[in-house]
């Protein structure tokens, strides 16, 4: 499984009548950017907030409002939904949610929602008092029970000038939820543990020895595993990346903290991926006070850190997790990766040259297993993550 789940898919975007409708234009644009074809249906109230011309300009297709459109010879709601892989309602007003929950079909949007098959994602937006009303609560619970994915709302400033729960989530997040709804859940029921980022080894209360790892590769694995339905624990060293939604994140600093967190989570896991750049050494002593400048030279003695992956490999047992390590090298890539595979007792080593992806969103890796060496083309870290997870999924299926 590789690439964006939205690429080449057809999305029917239903725009309800709320002020958040202005952000739905950005939802359409992001869907389009990620390779989806987009049909837009506005409710009559939606049309009061934003016009169909905006969506036609973005999607290249006429936006529809009228069930009785005389320019369309057939059944418009059947034609629109027959092609749709997913229906996305943004914004979903309290009224639209109520009509969905009760199966009404008195306009183009609601007839489409009745005729559509496949996943439905809704992004509610309304005043907190409407969101918290028992009728809305019951309607949302009913929709959820039917499998509708509800994304948001979130707490934030509202059109009324107040602040509270009811604000539509941002367009990027809505589109991510749509992509997730189209992603096969082949890792459902699996516990995946991923380590990411570098570690900081303290010298004194304000200084540390560290490395330049951004954490991007490990975060991408955690996010894709989550998207594919896994229950994910991300053990993250210091990283500037935002905490991914729907992932249990344990933040650690040193290699020894990371070891404890990974070991605690690995017991229940089917897959452990050590993507972290764990410091091999730490200062043998941590000064209690900030070290003052004095001599021309400062010597810091270092001692070896525990090798987390090797420890996991040494305690392997029947039914234990698949172990995946990384090997960042500057030369002799495959040879060194093979040596690490054996020395650390893991199932797969993802090898890459430092020049090919230490920072940035792309990476070029070679997958090394006891039986095969598979060089992959340069690709996004999300796609590399999918290849690693595919390897796991195919072994699990055996």
Contact between 197 and ligand CTP per CB under 6 A: no
Q: What is the closest distance, in whole angstroms, from the C-beta atom of residue 255 to ligand CTP in the complex?
A: 5
The SS3 of residue 308 is: helix
> Which of residues 55 and 219 has its CB atom nearest to ligand CTP in the complex?
219
Q: Which of 369, 370, 365, 263 has its CA nearest to residue 310?
A: 263
The Cα–Cα gap between 156 and 172 comes to: 17
Binding-site string for ligand CTP from residue 326 to residue 365, where x marks contact by CB under 6 A and - marks none = xxx-----------x---x---------------------
φ/ψ (deg, to 5) at 391 = -60, -45
Contact between 227 and ligand CTP per CB under 6 A: no
> Which of residues 10 and 311 has its CB atom nearest to ligand CTP in the complex?
311
Tokens of residue 90, six digits? 């943004």
Candidates 173-181, 209-217, 233-241, 324-332: pick the segment binding ligand CTP (CB under 6 A).
324-332
Q: At what angle do helices 21-33 and 171-181 cross, to 10 degrees?
A: 50
Contact between 219 and ligand CTP per CB under 6 A: no
CA distances from 95 to 43, 44, 104, 233 (A): 11, 12, 11, 38
Q: Of these, 274, 379, 382, 389, which contacts ligand CTP (CB under 6 A)?
A: 274
Q: Of these, 31, 42, 308, 322, which contacts ligand CTP (CB under 6 A)?
A: 308
Count of residues engaged in binding ligand CTP, rule: CB under 6 A: 15
The Cα–Cα gap between 127 and 120 comes to: 23
Pick out residues in 242-261 that bind ligand CTP (CB under 6 A). 255
> Which of residues 178 and 274 has its CB atom nearest to ligand CTP in the complex?
274
Edge-first strand listing for the sheet containing 366-368: 248-251, 231-236, 191-196, 271-274, 322-329, 348-353, 366-368, 373-375
**211 is a catalytic site residue:** yes
Candidates 138-146, 227-235, 292-300, 303-311: pick the segment binding ligand CTP (CB under 6 A).
303-311
Give the CA radius of gyration of the chain.
25
Catalytic positions: 211
Sites of contact with ligand CTP (CB under 6 A): 255, 274, 276, 278, 280, 305, 307-309, 325-328, 340, 344
């Amino acid at each position: 499984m590789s690439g964006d789940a939205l690429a080449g898919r057809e999305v029917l975007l239903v725009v309800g009548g709320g002020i958040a409708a202005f952000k739905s234009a950005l939802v359409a644009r992001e869907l389009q950017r990620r390779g989806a074809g987009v049909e837009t249906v506005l409710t009559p109230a939606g049309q009061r907030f934003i016009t169909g011309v905006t969506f036609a300009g973005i999607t290249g297709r006429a936006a529809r409002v009228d069930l009785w459109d005389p320019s369309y010879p057939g059944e418009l709601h059947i034609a629109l939904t027959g092609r749709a892989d997913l229906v996305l309602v943004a914004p979903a007003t309290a009224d639209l949610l109520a009509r969905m929950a009760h199966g009404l079909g008195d306009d183009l949007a609601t007839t489409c929602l009745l005729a559509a098959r496949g996943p439905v994602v809704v992004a509610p937006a309304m005043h907190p008092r409407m969101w918290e009303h028992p009728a809305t609560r019951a309607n949302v619970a009913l929709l959820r029970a039917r499998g509708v994915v509800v994304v948001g709302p979130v707490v934030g400033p509202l059109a009324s000038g107040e602040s509270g729960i009811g604000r539509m989530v941002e367009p990027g997040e809505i589109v991510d939820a749509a992509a997730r709804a189209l992603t096969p859940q082949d890792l459902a029921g699996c516990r995946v543990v991923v380590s990411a980022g570098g570690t900081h080894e303290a010298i004194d209360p304000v200084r540390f020895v560290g490395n330049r790892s951004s954490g991007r590769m490990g975060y991408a694995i955690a996010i894709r595993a989550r998207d594919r339905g896994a229950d994910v624990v991300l053990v993250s060293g210091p990283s500037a990346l935002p905490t991914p939604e729907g992932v249990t994140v344990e933040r650690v600093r040193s290699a020894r903290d990371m070891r404890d967190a990974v070991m605690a989570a690995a017991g229940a896991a089917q897959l452990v991926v050590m993507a972290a750049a764990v410091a091999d050494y730490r200062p043998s002593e941590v000064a209690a006070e900030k070290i003052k400048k004095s001599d021309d030279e400062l010597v810091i003695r270092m001692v070896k850190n525990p090798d987390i992956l090797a420890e996991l490999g040494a305690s392997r047992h029947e039914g234990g997790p698949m172990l995946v390590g990384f090997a960042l090298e500057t030369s002799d890539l495959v040879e060194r990766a093979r040596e690490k595979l054996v020395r650390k007792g893991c199932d797969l080593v993802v090898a890459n040259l430092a020049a090919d992806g230490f920072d940035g969103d792309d990476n070029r890796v070679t997958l090394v297993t006891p039986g095969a060496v598979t060089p992959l083309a340069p690709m996004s870290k999300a796609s590399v993550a999918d290849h690693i997870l595919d390897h796991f999924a195919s072994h699990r299926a055996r």
